[in-house]
């Protein structure tokens, strides 16, 4: 089996390529609206590499609120390269992500996904009946898992991002960078 490790900054391009391969329409999803412009939760981005060193799987968790005053994590996307789908790598990625979120003291994880697949990890739509997401999504695919019992009890409202925003360079920084390139050339 492949080792699952913390994602490194230099792996982001490979991660995006894997997601493009597996989920070409991901930018149309409501979950992506919650993630866009945000950084994943600290310590909760994982990758696995194949025997040749190439990225084989990825999963990230994101800070959200499950309605007012109910901090939670949003998992996704979980992606496994087709070459590694039959070896249980997706399940192992899930176990690592859940274990680390628990170890870090988080109370709950939400996701949008296939209920029969995620039920084996304890996810259920019974915990999300009073929650909703921005945009279109299939209600029966909005699933929750309590890492601390009672965390989602009474959770009601819009699932919203709370994680740190991606720091984009200012126009002045971009221009300065271009000027530096001109001097080198």
> Could you read off the pLDDT of 133-166 as tens digits, one per residue?
988 889 999 999 999 999 999 999 999 999 889 8
Half-sphere exposure of 164 (CA within 13 A, CB side): 7
**168 three-class SS:** coil
pLDDT at position 182: 56
Has residue 23 got a pLDDT over 70?
Answer: yes
Has residue 1 got a pLDDT over 70?
Answer: no
Mean pLDDT score of the chain, rounded to an integer?
A: 90
Backbone angles phi, psi at 42, to 5 degrees: -55, 130
Structural domain boundaries, residue 142: 4-184
CA 5/CA 96 separation, integer angstroms: 9
Higher pLDDT residue, 181 or 76? 76
The model carries a pTM of 0.87
Alpha-carbon distances, residue 141 vs 2, 11, 113, 137 (angstroms): 29, 29, 5, 8
Has residue 115 got a pLDDT over 60?
Answer: yes
Identify the DSSP state of 51.
T
pLDDT band at 183 (very low <50, low <70, confident <90, very high): low
Has residue 184 got a pLDDT over 70?
Answer: no
Task: Identify the CATH number of the domain in which residue 132 sits.
Answer: 3.40.630.30
pLDDT at position 177: 66
CA 124/CA 145 separation, integer angstroms: 7
How many independent structural domains does the chain possess? 1
pLDDT at position 88: 93
pLDDT at position 167: 80
CA 17/CA 80 separation, integer angstroms: 12
In 3D space, the residue among 164, 130, 161, 163 whose CA is nearest the CA of residue 144 turns out to be 130
Q: Poorest-confidence range of 17-26, 50-59, 104-113, 139-148?
A: 17-26
pLDDT at position 33: 87
pLDDT at position 75: 97
pLDDT at position 80: 95
CA 65/CA 127 separation, integer angstroms: 14
Adjacent-strand bridge partners of 73: 63, 109
Is the bond preceding residue 77 a cis peptide, omega within 30 degrees? yes
Compute the average pLDDT of residues 63-77. Answer: 95
């Amino acid at each position: 089996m492949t080792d699952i490790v913390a994602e490194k900054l230099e792996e982001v391009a490979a991660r995006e390529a894997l997601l493009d391969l597996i989920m070409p329409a991901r930018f149309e999803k409501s979950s992506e609206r919650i993630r866009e412009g945000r950084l994943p939760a600290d310590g909760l981005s994982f990758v696995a590499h194949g025997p040749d060193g190439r990225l084989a799987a990825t999963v990230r968790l994101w800070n959200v609120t499950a309605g007012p005053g109910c901090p939670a994590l949003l998992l996704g996307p979980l992606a496994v390269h087709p070459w590694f789908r039959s070896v249980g790598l997706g399940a192992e990625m899930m176990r690592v992500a859940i274990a680390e979120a628990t170890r870090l003291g988080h109370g709950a994880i939400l996701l949008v996904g296939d209920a029969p697949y995620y039920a084996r990890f304890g996810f259920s739509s019974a915990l999300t009946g009073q929650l909703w997401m921005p945009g279109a999504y299939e209600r029966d695919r909005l699933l929750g898992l309590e890492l601390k019992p009672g965390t989602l009890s009474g959770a009601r409202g819009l699932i919203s991002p709370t994680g740190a925003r991606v720091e984009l360079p200012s126009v002045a920084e971009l221009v300065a960078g271009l000027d530096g390139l001109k001097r080198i050339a």
